[in-house]
């Protein structure tokens, strides 16, 4: 049986880590595309030469020609300019929308049956644009943001409580930006509410709420925190790991419930926009959007986040 094929569009920091992770997990043969001659070929040669050490047995190659992504089962897109200190994700929309249009045409013309996972920022707008240009069914075009945002939220909770990250369950909804919605009410450690554990630690509900609010705000600004520390470029290890988790769930039909930027058709009161919500990812792509009841505060935060997405998408004049 032929191995699956994974095409990675964009050979920068995230693209290189993606190629390595896909190879290490033996998800399939990897093709890394970039317009810079020699760069994707050099990165993939370096990764391929580690195969005897790491023990993976898949093909890892680089290319400057979209024709080489033909037959890809999954395409992960990182192409676009990264953020610089002081920039918001939204500041990238002008230049990255031109890049995304070109990328989407390359995918449409060469890998018409692929599932597409977008990482490029501003995320919600770029996923919308890619789906419009490719014309692919919405269940095959999705964005990676919620997996990463949720992982950051989970990490901050684990560090604060001194527990394993493996036992923390927490999720963010909404757009991938400053208006994202970390769900405080549902955050738990093996089912025990995080707020309850914080109250035990600090001895007061007021202090617990204060600490949780700080973690929520840090989650919203987490990408910018990395950008500021790096000074040149943006996060690449964690976004790559997050996208690979999505690709693996699709390729191996794992049916994982992952927060995914998906096209909503009435769910959560939202119609016709790509927004982060929990989805079942399997061999058919986005197989189900899981809807659940938000309280009044959560719904207001969600509506505010969606309004920001609508404004961003509207600026592209699609």
Residues 6+ apart with CB under 8 A from 58: 3, 22, 23, 26, 27, 28, 29, 30
User: What is the distance between the alpha carbons of residues 282 and 274, in angstroms, rounded to a whole number?
Assistant: 19
Residues 6+ apart with CB under 8 A from 88: 177, 178, 224
Whether 176 is catalytic is yes
Q: Which of 139, 149, 131 is nearest to 318 (CA)?
A: 131
Cβ density class 71-89: b for 16+ within 10 Å, e for less: ebbbbbbbbbbbbeeeeeb
Given the residues 158, 176, 180, 276, the one annotated as active site: 176
Rg over alpha carbons for the chain, rounded to the nearest Å, is: 19
User: What is the distance between the alpha carbons of residues 172 and 193, in angstroms, rounded to a whole number?
Assistant: 16
Catalytic site positions: 176
């Amino acid at each position: 049986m032929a191995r699956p094929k994974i095409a990675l569009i964009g050979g920068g920091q995230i693209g290189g880590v993606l190629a390595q992770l896909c190879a290490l997990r033996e998800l399939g043969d990897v093709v890394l595309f970039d317009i810079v001659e020699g760069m994707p070929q050099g990165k993939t040669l370096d990764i391929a030469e580690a195969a005897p050490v790491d023990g993976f047995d898949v093909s890892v190659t680089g290319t400057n020609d979209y024709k080489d992504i033909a037959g890809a089962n999954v395409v992960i897109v990182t192409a676009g300019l990264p953020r610089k200190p002081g920039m918001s994700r939204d500041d990238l929309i002008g230049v990255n929308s031109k890049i995304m249009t070109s990328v989407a045409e390359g995918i449409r013309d060469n890998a018409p049956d692929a599932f597409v996972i977008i990482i490029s920022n501003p995320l919600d707008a770029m996923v919308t644009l890619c789906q419009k240009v490719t014309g692919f069914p919405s269940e095959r075009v999705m964005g990676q943001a919620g997996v990463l945002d949720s992982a950051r939220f989970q990490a901050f909770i684990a560090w604060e409580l001194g527990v394993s990250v493996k036992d923390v369950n927490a999720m963010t909804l909404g757009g991938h930006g400053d208006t994202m919605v970390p769900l405080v009410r549902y955050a738990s450690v093996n089912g025990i509410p995080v707020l309850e554990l914080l109250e035990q630690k600090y001895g007061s509900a007021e202090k617990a709420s204060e600490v949780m609010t700080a973690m929520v705000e840090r989650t919203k600004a987490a990408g910018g925190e990395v950008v500021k520390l790096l000074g040149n470029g943006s996060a690449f290890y964690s976004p790559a790991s997050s996208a690979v988790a999505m690709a693996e769930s699709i390729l191996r039909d794992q049916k994982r419930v992952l927060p995914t930027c998906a096209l909503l058709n009435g769910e959560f009161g939202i119609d016709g926009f790509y927004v982060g919500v929990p989805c079942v990812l399997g061999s058919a792509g986005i197989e189900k959007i899981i809807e659940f009841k938000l309280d009044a505060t959560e719904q207001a935060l969600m509506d505010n986040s969606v309004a920001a997405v609508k404004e961003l998408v509207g600026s592209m004049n699609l």
